[in-house]
C-alpha cells in the first residue's frame, strides 16, 4: 500500500510542477475527497472540502447525493458477486439490493 501511495504522491508533485509552470500566478492545493470509511460517507469532512472549492450550496448537495448513489451502486455490485460465489446459491439472495430500494433511500 505504501508503494501505491508513494506513486500517487510523485504523480501529484509532477502535475503540480507542470501546473505551476503553465500558470505561475495560481495557487494549487490538493484536496482529497474520501469516499467513506467502512461504508460511511463522512459528510462533514466532504462538505468542508467542497466548501474550499467555493461551490454553490445546491451544487454541493447534488455532488454528495451523486457520490453516495455511486458508492451504493458499487456496494450493490460487490454484494451481487459475493452472493453468486456462495456454493448452492442461485444469486437470488442478491435481489435485496438497489432494485428493491428507491433511489431516494441513498441520499
Q: What is the pLDDT of residues 20-68, one digit of tens each?
A: 999 999 988 888 776 655 556 667 777 788 888 887 777 888 888 888 7
Helix H, strand E, coil C: the string for 24-83 is: CCCCCCCCCCCCCECCECCHHHHHHHHHHCCCCHHHHHHHHHHHHHHHHHHHHHHHHHHH
**Which pLDDT score is estimated for 41?**
61
Domain boundaries, the chain: 1-30, 36-106
Amino acid at each position: 500500500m505504501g508503494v501505491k501511495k508513494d506513486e500517487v504522491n510523485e504523480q501529484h508533485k509532477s502535475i503540480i510542477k507542470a501546473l505551476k509552470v503553465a500558470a505561475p500566478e495560481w495557487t494549487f492545493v490538493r484536496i482529497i475527497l474520501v469516499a467513506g470509511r467502512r461504508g460511511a460517507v463522512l459528510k462533514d469532512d466532504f462538505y468542508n472540502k467542497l466548501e474550499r472549492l467555493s461551490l454553490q450550496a445546491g451544487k454541493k448537495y447534488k455532488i454528495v447525493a451523486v457520490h453516495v448513489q455511486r458508492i451504493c451502486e458499487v456496494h450493490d455490485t460487490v454484494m451481487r458477486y459475493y452472493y453468486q460465489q456462495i456454493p448452492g446459491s442461485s444469486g437470488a439472495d442478491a435481489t435485496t439490493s438497489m432494485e428493491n430500494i428507491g433511489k431516494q433511500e441513498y441520499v
